[in-house]
Amino acid sequence: MLDNSYEARLLRVIDYLWANLDAPLDLDHLAGVAAFSPYHFHRIYRGATGETVAETVRRLRLHRAAGALVQSDQPISEIANRAGYGSQAAFTRSFSADYGLPPALYRRRSVDPALKESQMLPIDYVTLPDLPCAAVPHRGSYLEIGKAFETLTVYAAGRGLIGPETRMFGVYHDDPSAVPVGDLRSEACVTVPPGTALDSPAQPLTIAGGRYAAALHVGPYAELEHAYQWLFGTWLPESGQEPDDRPALEEYLNDPRTLPPTEWKTLIYVPLKG
């Protein structure tokens, strides 16, 4: 179990990284934020998170870049510069290695009607039980819920709450096409045994059980919005099903820290009546 003082110091680092993602990576400064010596900080951070600070920053910057490619017309050179690359060519090599396509093709593919047709997902109907969880709330862009998950992972791992049966969910309350980005509500959740005592920064939350349509998406989280557009804009109206008022869920089936984005598996749950 992670000592409470260690947890608090690592959470300070997570807060700092997300607030300063555009800043040059300074490991000695981050060690100071955590109040560890640089020698010990690198090992403690990697032991608690499963990746180095440099790997965390690279993953977060490329994830943000993928979102910008899909959701904006910002020039690729500007996206590359914001991601910390000295040239567009260097960014292209790094992005292609993780996302399987160069940035320009990745952007074109995201708006290609033929591609959207090919992204139709197989649907299963499932019934979930009520799922008690430890949750960290997030407000703002759904693409930035990663900070809440980073916080939750350190919290849960430090308390021995992550095991073979643990499940990781995101709970999404609002439609990003209808609600201002700053007002979007979501929670990062990890299942826990009933009655588990929780304290800040986590809070208890029970995912409401019931009937759901479940669709498996394989690929970068930045592309999930296309899956939602197809599910709610095409599949649901043609399915004869009625949506329920419970929030949509995402269950994350593998670890984005250990696999390339092309292999990230997300199970999307659409709540249904009946």
What's the pLDDT tens digit per position in 159-197?
999 999 999 999 999 999 899 999 999 999 999 999 999
CB distance 162 to 156 below 8 Å: yes
Residue 136: band (very low, low, confident or very high) from pLDDT cuts 50, 70, 90 = very high
Q: What is the predicted pLDDT for the residue at 117?
A: 46
What average pLDDT does the chain have? 92
Interhelix angle 53-71/146-158, rounded to 10 degrees, is 150
What's the pLDDT tens digit per position in 227-252? 998 999 899 999 999 999 999 999 99
118 has pLDDT over 80:
no
120 has pLDDT over 70:
no
Residue 249 one-letter amino acid: L
CB distance 83 to 64 below 8 Å: yes
d(CA 67, CA 72) in angstroms, rounded, equals 8
Residue 274: band (very low, low, confident or very high) from pLDDT cuts 50, 70, 90 = confident
Q: What is the mean pLDDT of residues 205-217?
A: 97
- Phi (first) and psi of residue 186, to 5 degrees: -155, 165
Q: What is the predicted pLDDT for the residue at 35?
A: 93
Question: 204 preceded by cis ω (within 30°)?
Answer: no
- The 8 Å CB, 24+ separation contacts for 236-244 are 236/270, 239/123, 239/213, 241/213, 241/272, 241/273, 241/274, 242/272, 242/273, 242/274, 243/270, 243/271, 243/272, 243/273, 244/210, 244/211, 244/271, 244/272, 244/273
User: Model-level pTM?
Assistant: 0.88
CB distance 92 to 113 below 8 Å: no
Q: What is the predicted pLDDT for the residue at 127?
A: 98
**3-class SS at 244?**
coil
Residue 110: band (very low, low, confident or very high) from pLDDT cuts 50, 70, 90 = confident
Q: What is the predicted pLDDT for the residue at 114?
A: 56
Higher pLDDT, 6 or 103: 103
- Cβ–Cβ contacts within 10 Å for residue 78, how many? 12
What domains lie within the chain, and their CATH numbers? 4-110 (1.10.10.60), 123-271 (3.20.80.10)
Residue 158: band (very low, low, confident or very high) from pLDDT cuts 50, 70, 90 = confident
Q: What is the predicted pLDDT for the residue at 130?
A: 98
